[in-house]
Amino acid sequence: MKRIVTIGGGSGQYSLLRGLREIDGIDITAVVSMVDSGGSTGRLRDELGVLPPGDPLKCILALSPHQDIVRTIFLKRFEKDRRLRGHNAGNMLLTMLSRFTGSFPAGVQALCEILDVRGTVLPVTVDKATLVAELTDGSRIYGERAIDTPRGTQREKIRDVWLVPHHSDRITVYPPVIDAISRADCIITGPGDLFTSILPNFLVSGVTEALRTCRAPLLYILNIMTKYGETHRYRGRDFVTRLENALGREVDAVIYNTRKPDAEILERYRRQKAEFVAIDTGDGWWRERRVYAADLLDVTGGIVRHDTRKLAALIRRILWSGQATAGEKGPS
Distance CA(10)–CA(14), nearest Å, equals 7
Indicate the average pLDDT of the chain: 88
DSSP string spanning 2-16?
A: EEEEEEE-HHHHHHH
Q: What are phi and psi of 236, to 5 degrees?
A: -55, -40
- Residue range 232-239: mean pLDDT, rounded: 93
DSSP class of residue 195 equals I
Residue ranges and CATH numbers for the domains of the chain are 2-34+124-128+165-321 (3.40.50.10680)
- What percent of the chain lies above the pLDDT cut of 70? 91
The model's confidence at residue 256, banded by pLDDT at 50, 70 and 90, is very high
Coil vs helix vs strand at 325: coil
- Residue range 52-75: mean pLDDT, rounded: 89
At 21-46, the pLDDT tens digits run 999 999 999 999 998 766 666 566 66
Distance CA(271)–CA(288), nearest Å, equals 35
At 162-201, the pLDDT tens digits run 999 987 788 999 999 999 999 999 999 999 999 999 999 9
**No. of helices (H) and no. of strands (E), the chain:** 13, 12
Distance CA(332)–CA(224), nearest Å, equals 18
Coil vs helix vs strand at 328: coil
Strand partners for 32:
8, 123
What pLDDT, on a 0 to 100 scale, did the predictor assign at position 41? 63
What pLDDT, on a 0 to 100 scale, did the predictor assign at position 59? 95
What pLDDT, on a 0 to 100 scale, did the predictor assign at position 52? 78
Q: What are the start-end ranges of the H helices in the chain?
A: 10-20, 39-48, 54-62, 67-74, 89-101, 104-114, 144-148, 175-183, 199-202, 207-213, 236-247, 263-270, 308-321
pTM of the model: 0.91
What pLDDT, on a 0 to 100 scale, did the predictor assign at position 322? 64
As a 3-state breakdown, the chain gives helix, strand, coil percent values, each rounded to 5, of: 40, 20, 40
What pLDDT, on a 0 to 100 scale, did the predictor assign at position 152? 61
Distance CA(223)–CA(254), nearest Å, equals 10
At 112-154, the pLDDT tens digits run 999 999 999 999 999 989 999 999 889 999 888 888 877 666 5
- What percent of the chain lies above the pLDDT cut of 90? 66
